[in-house]
Amino acid sequence: MEINWGLIWPILALQAILAVTGLVSLFKAEPANIRGPRWMWVLIILLGNILGSIAYFAAGRRET
Amino acid sequence: MKPFWIYYQKEMLEASRTYKWIWVPAVFLLLGIMQPVSTYYLPEILTMSGEVPPEAAALFTIPSADSVMASTLSQFSTIGLLVLVLAGMNTVAGERATGTAELVLTRTVSTLPMMGAKWAAMMTLMLVSFALGLAGAAYYTHQLIGPLEWGAVASGGLLYAVWLAWIVTLVLPLGAVLRGPAAAFISLGTAAALSLLSGLLPSRFQWSPGRLSSMAAEWMLGAGAGAWAPVIAALLIMLLSIIAAAGLLRRSPLSPQS
């Protein structure tokens, strides 16, 4: 089967944008403002696709 | 109007500092693009998964362009709505935690411009994200599956935006009295309950704003009925929510909650 990469790359790019934004925010935050250990969120963001990044942005930080 | 603009700029700044302006539009665009692409590749995905014999996969027919758009809306109803509510849940509850509420409430200024600005900022984020997601879905559906009726997409999208708007607005008054996650949970629960009720008893709930999501899908399919009553009900709920949120924030205790 021929995969048309022109169709797939925007999806991959958006996933990458989400993950990179999540990681940047994670490493810029003070450890006290992160719920739970930082390495756990790194794994969640990298392995959890869209839902992992959503989970981090929704529950990962204390907004103070 | 001046306090409103100051609060509005503050809200927009806060939203961009917390990366909301990146991740919420990205999630919507992703949801919008993935639906037509995965529909287009579904026969291949079925064959590659190995569970389905290739003959059965060949029987699968690609649905029509407007039904792909309608199913994109149901994607927005689950993950999209969840994302919007989660992104908005701390706009009011968070003010107490950070102490901004004390600063505002100890002065004799009205909380209405503040709530109005919070609402307007949420709506800006929601409309931009949803428009991006819908445009992505429409572009890909048009390219991969077939030509679309642009008028139906636009009117269905507009109706759907009203549905998203009233649920997201519910977070404001709930956030004024509850913690952020509780506010998010209750507003999503209300939306689910109302849309279930109006699905079960359609004749009793002609006016229910819970019908808006299914009506928007019908409009996308080109079979729209009049939607004035639910739209007016949704607009009233939004207006009352903003006023109630401003009043409740004045009354509720200032102790840090979330």
* C-alpha to C-alpha distance for A4 and B88, rounded to whole angstroms: 37
Mean pLDDT value across residues B149-175:
91
Q: ipTM for the complex? A: 0.88
Mutate: best of A54, A61, A62, A64, partner B, most B CBs <10 A: A54
8 A C-beta contact, residue B22 and residue A21? yes
Query: Between chains, do B40 and A58 touch, taking CB under 8 Å as contact?
Result: no
Mutating which of B13, B17, B19, B81 best tests the A interface, going by the most A Cβ atoms within 10 A? B19
pLDDT at residue B191, rounded to an integer: 87
Q: Which of A51, A54, A63 sits opposite B94 (nearest CB)?
A: A63
- A61 forms bridges with which residues in the sheet? A34
Output A26 or B96, whichever has higher pLDDT.
Answer: A26
Task: Break chain B down into helix, strand, coil percent, rounded to 5.
Answer: 80, 0, 20
Q: Does B13 touch chain A (CB under 8 A)?
A: no
Residues in chain A: 64
Structural domain boundaries enclosing A16: 11-60
* A3-12, A53-62, B54-63: least confident range: B54-63
For B135-157, what is the mean pLDDT? 89
Looking at the domain assignment, is residue A45 inside a domain? Answer: yes
Question: In the prediction, which pLDDT does B177 show?
Answer: 84
More confident residue, B209 or B57: B209
Chain A residues within 8 A of B83 when measuring between CB atoms: 54, 58
Q: Is residue A52 part of a domain?
A: yes
What is the rounded distance in angstroms from the CA atom of residue B50 to the CA atom of residue B162?
42
Residue A50 in any domain: the answer is yes
Residue with tokens 């942005």: A57
Contact B255, B182 (CB under 8 A): no
Asked whether the predicted pLDDT for residue B254 surpasses 70, the reply is no
pLDDT at B46 over 70: yes
Range 3-42 of A in CB contact (< 8 A) with B: 7-8, 10-11, 14-15, 17-18, 21-22, 25
Count structural domains, chain A. Answer: 1
Residue A3 lies in a domain: no
| Whether the predicted pLDDT of B251 surpasses 80 | no
Contact present, B246 and B112 (Cβ < 8 Å): yes
3-state secondary structure of A34: strand
pLDDT computed for residue A2 by the predictor: 65
Of the candidates B37, B152, B130, the one whose C-alpha atom is nearest the C-alpha of residue B76 is B130
